[in-house]
Amino acid sequence: GAPETSDAANSDTDLTDEDWSIVDQVLTGFPDAVPLEDRVAAAMGGMHPRLVMALRSAADSSGDDVEDSSSAQKLREVGKAMSSLLDGRLKDGRDLLASLLTSGEIRKLDGLIGRAAKDGKLDMAFFSVLNMNIRDAAYEASRMSPEEQAKLEETRVSVPTNDESGTAGRLQILQHIYTRCQEEVEKTVAPGA
């Protein structure tokens, strides 16, 4: 068999080299003056859901473990910054996305998106939240059995779909929201529109 080279952090999370390079980039790839939260915000768009989950669970861990490796400490440090970012700045984006997802029908959804664009709410925080949700939905759709998808649907904010297509429906509606938001942002940016 293959040699086992997993320390405590890797065995829990199965992070790839790419995931670790993002963590290292956040910790060391910026001038010291840039706050950690800003670094996390900049890197978040490229994070795989697996890394986001690992960071969230690392942020919740106490760090009193005997086997607290340097990689576990890195995850916890970045995870705590991500949690405070999600709880603070991204809260408005999350709230907006939740209201779009619960709007009930496409026409109403499009109206809400137009209003959000006029109010300047389609900002970096909103697109960060939206992109994370799209990635999560795509990741779930690729990994889950229909039974698992059904269980997940019981705990999730409902999405306006015409059928009971589970995670695929969530992914489709998130992609629709993304496309419409992009169109609205382009309208407001385009000169002479």
* Nearest Cα to Cα of residue 162 among 110, 113, 108, 106: 106
Query: How many separate domains does the chain show?
Result: 2
97 and 177 share a domain? yes
19 and 82 share a domain? yes
Q: Pick the residue with more confidence: 98 or 90?
A: 98
pLDDT digits (tens, 9 = 90+) for 129-153: 888 888 888 877 777 667 766 665 6
78 belongs to a structural domain: yes
The pLDDT value given to residue 89: 74
Whether the model clears a pTM of 0.85, i.e. scores above it, the answer is no
Residue 193 has pLDDT above 50, yes or no: no
**Dihedrals phi, psi of 26, to nearest 5 degrees:** -60, -40
pLDDT digits (tens, 9 = 90+) for 4-21: 444 444 444 589 999 999
Domain span at 80: 8-87
- Per the CB < 8 A criterion, the answer to whether 132 and 52 are in contact is yes
User: Confidence class of residue 162 from pLDDT cuts 50, 70 and 90?
Assistant: very low
The pLDDT value given to residue 154: 57
